[in-house]
Structure 1
Amino acid sequence: MRQASAADAAALSLVASATFLETFAGLLGGDDIGAHCAANNTPEKFTTWANDARGAVTIAEVENGHAPVGYAVLTVPDLPVDAGPADVELKRIYTLSLMHGSGLGPALMETAVDHAVRLGRKRILLGVYGRNLRAQAFYKRQGFQVIGERKFQVGTTFHDDVIFARDI
């Protein structure tokens, strides 16, 4: 695991689309998943996030061959809650399913928290799909609590999300 740079944008785009598809296939429509990934998992987006000093991007790779298997993105908050200058949003945190149970998820979270502390932030915010109970259980184990809700568009469909927060 390491802090990503703009040079990692293509690999991050690939793992972002793969993990989104793995996570939501069967829960969301296939056309909506494809449209969402095409619009939101571009190398350009990851380049912007990696170059923004107000956030941090972490990439997780397997040792043998350095294939990307997970990532996390911290950004300036863009959620419908009262966010202050001491807040940061965990915009993304995903691992490929082959890494589930390996400890990579908690390690990515720990790294994201470390980055947030180094950025001088006091609270991490995040949004998660309301029907993604596995992710919600993970966030609760990590000390997050529900503070709100939002509508989140994937493709052409709006879904109910839950907004979590954790003081750090």
Structure 2
Amino acid sequence: MISITIKKASTEDLETIQNVGRETFYETFAKHNSEYEMQKYLDESFASEKLIRELNTIDSQFFIAWENENPIGYLKVNSGKAQTELQDETSLEIERIYVKSEYHGKKIGQILYDKALEIALQEKKKYLWLGVWEENVRAVNFYKKNGFIEFDKHIFKLGNEEQTDLMMRKLLD
């Protein structure tokens, strides 16, 4: 069994978040998109300036999953106005749970999700929500297993490609 540590990230972790983010996004979505659109998205979404802004946003939090000294995934959650869409003070958005493919099936995503749930409960949120690409069956099933239900859809643009994300939420007691 592997030993995993979850640590809150800061701007000092910029390069780690960039590397893990780029690698995991590419692993997950490259086979479904053109190389040009993938590289453009990776360059824009994981640019240092953009990630520094996100890391310094008061209502956003990043957490990195470590196996010893090896970063293997990360979580990004947003509350308040940092949320990408709903911006409901009573909700917490899970914007990203990224796990390196070699760690799929080893409960790393579950550990990161559990961290998001812990934050939502500590902050007395009424629900968690997220957007997930409708064709990412593995992720959709993961969220359903954790009690999320679909409540809407939105368009996610990857370059010139329009893709449909399922918007899912989980009500908290």
Q: Same fold (TM over 0.5)?
A: yes
CA distance in structure 2 between the aligned counterparts of 1:152 and 1:143, rounded to whole angstroms: 23
Matched residue SS, 1:106: helix
Which residues of 2 match residues 146-157 of structure 1 at below 5 A? 146-157=150-161
Tell me, in whole angstroms, the C-alpha distance in 1 between the residues paired with 2:51 and 2:159.
19
Tell me, in whole angstroms, the C-alpha distance in 2 between the residues paired with 1:24 and 1:157: 12
Superposition deviation, residue 62 in structure 1? 1.9
Any idea what the Cα deviations from partners look like across 1:56-90, whole Å, max 9, x if unmatched? 11111220xx22210010123222xx552111211
Contact 1:127 1:164 in 2 (8 A): yes
Task: Tell me which residue corresponds to 1:113.
Answer: 117
Report SS of the residue matched to 1:124: strand
Q: Which moved more, 1:12-21 or 1:69-78?
A: 69-78
1:89 equivalent to 2:93? Answer yes
The residue correspondences of 1:1-168 to structure 2 (distance < 5 A) are 1-63=6-68, 66-75=69-78, 76-79=82-85, 83-168=87-172
TM-score with structure 2 length normalisation? 0.88
User: Which stretch of structure 1 is more off in the superposition, 107-116 or 12-21?
Assistant: 107-116
Alpha-carbon distance between aligned partners in 1 of 2:162 and 2:169, rounded to the nearest angstrom = 22
Q: How many residues align?
A: 164
1: CA distance between counterparts of 2:123 and 2:37? 34
Q: Distance in 2 between matches of 1:58 and 1:91?
A: 12
Question: TM-score, normalised to structure 1's length?
Answer: 0.90
CA distance in 1, matches of 2:50, 2:121: 23
* 1:131 aligned counterpart, secondary structure: coil
